[in-house]
Structures are given as structure tokens and as C-alpha cells.
Amino acid sequence: MTEQTEIEVAGVKFKGGKIFLVLTALTTLGGGLWGGFEFYKDYMDMKEVIQNIDTKEIESKNKQLDIKLEQAIDYTRDIKNGLKADILNIEKQVDRMEDKLRKSEEIQRTVIQNAEERFENKRDALQNDYDKSSNRLQEQNTQRADDLIKKVERDLKELELRLNKRLQRALDNPLAQ
């Protein structure tokens, strides 16, 4: 048999593995007491801090914060109202521009329509002038051709008459030449 280590604490004897159990229990108890002491110390420090808090100063700061908050709310409200007015103004300007654009489109359509009508009238007038000039030139050419034909016919008749006269003279007097 082996000899086991034995410890006696407060009249109680402990052997072997039970020693580790007792040591674990004692260290746990010591750690718990130390943690409780630290908690109590922090509690007392906090109690002293809480007792020394100046509630009037906190109340004064809260009032200042309330005033600043009200000012910020008023400023935000002013900004909101200003933006609202700006948006309404922009909408009015957009409406005016749309009206001007519609009027401008209507004027442009009218101008384009008038220009198209004038263009068609001018084109028709030019076509009529061209047709008249063409007809007049054709009539003049026809007249000139007719005049030329008549002149050629007259000249041919004159030439024929002269030739016939010469021929007749030559026939009448063959030795006269």
C-alpha cells in the first residue's frame, strides 16, 4: 500500500484527491470574497459621486439643451417653409415656361404653315410663269419657223423664177451667152 498525503484543516483530515477539492473550494471562496469587496468598493465610490452630483447644473444644462432644441426646430421649420416657397416658385416658373413653350410652338407652327403656303403659291406662280414663257417661246419658235418656211418658199420661188428666166433666155437665144 502507498502512503497518501494527509492534511488536517479545522480538525478535519483530508487525504489524496480530496485535498484538491478542498483547495479548489477555498480558492473559489477567496475569489468570491475578493470580488464582493471590489463590488462594494465601487458601489461606495459611485454612491459618493451620485451624492455629489449638482442637480441644478444638470437642470440648467437641460434647459440650455431645450432652448437649443427649440431653436433648431424653429430653424428647421424656417428651412422647410423656405424650401416649400422655393418649390412653389419653381413650379410657377415651370408652368409659365410651359405656357410660353406652347405659345411658341403654336407661333412656329403658324409661321411654318404660312411659309409653306407662300412657298406653294410662289412655286405655283413660278410654274405658271414658266408655262407661259414656255408657251410664248414655243409660239414664237413656231411663228419664226413658219416665217422662215415662208421666206425659204419665197426665196425658192424667186430663185426658181430667176432660174427659169435665165433658162428661158438661154433657150430663147443660145448664142447670147
pLDDT in tens, 19-52: 777 778 888 988 999 998 888 888 888 877 777 7
- Which pLDDT does position 10 carry in this prediction? 72
Task: Kindly state whether residue 147 falls inside one of the protein's structural domains.
Answer: yes
Tell me: do 42 and 107 sit in the same domain.
no
- Which pLDDT does position 176 carry in this prediction? 62
On the CB side of 118, CA atoms within 13 Å amount to 6
Tell me: do 1 and 48 sit in the same domain.
yes
Pinpoint the alpha helices (H) of 8-54: 17-51
Residues 33/39, Cβ–Cβ less than 8 Å: no
Task: Kindly state whether residue 71 falls inside one of the protein's structural domains.
Answer: no
* Domain final residue, candidates 54, 70, 96: 54
**Which residue range forms the structural domain that includes residue 154?**
79-171
11 has pLDDT over 90: no
Task: Kindly state whether residue 88 falls inside one of the protein's structural domains.
Answer: yes
Task: Kindly state whether residue 135 falls inside one of the protein's structural domains.
Answer: yes
Report pLDDT digits (tens) over 65-108.
999 999 999 999 999 999 999 999 999 999 999 999 999 999 99
143 has pLDDT over 70: yes
Q: How many domains does the chain have?
A: 2
Calculate mean pLDDT across residues 150-173. 87
Tell me: do 46 and 122 sit in the same domain.
no
The one-letter amino acid code at 129 reads: D
Tell me: do 101 and 134 sit in the same domain.
yes
Task: Kindly state whether residue 109 falls inside one of the protein's structural domains.
Answer: yes
- Which pLDDT does position 8 carry in this prediction? 74
Task: Kindly state whether residue 154 falls inside one of the protein's structural domains.
Answer: yes
Report in angstroms the alpha-carbon separations of 96 from 89, 101, 120, 157, 173.
11, 8, 36, 89, 111
The one-letter amino acid code at 54 reads: D
- Which pLDDT does position 9 carry in this prediction? 67
Query: How large a percentage of the chain has pLDDT more than 90?
Result: 42
User: At residue 8, what are phi and psi to the nearest 5 degrees?
Assistant: -120, 125
Confidence of residue 1 (pLDDT cuts 50, 70, 90): very low
- Which pLDDT does position 3 carry in this prediction? 63
Tell me: do 165 and 84 sit in the same domain.
yes
7 has pLDDT over 60: yes
Task: Kindly state whether residue 74 falls inside one of the protein's structural domains.
Answer: no
6 has pLDDT over 50: yes
The more confidently predicted of residues 135 and 47 is 135
Task: Kindly state whether residue 105 falls inside one of the protein's structural domains.
Answer: yes
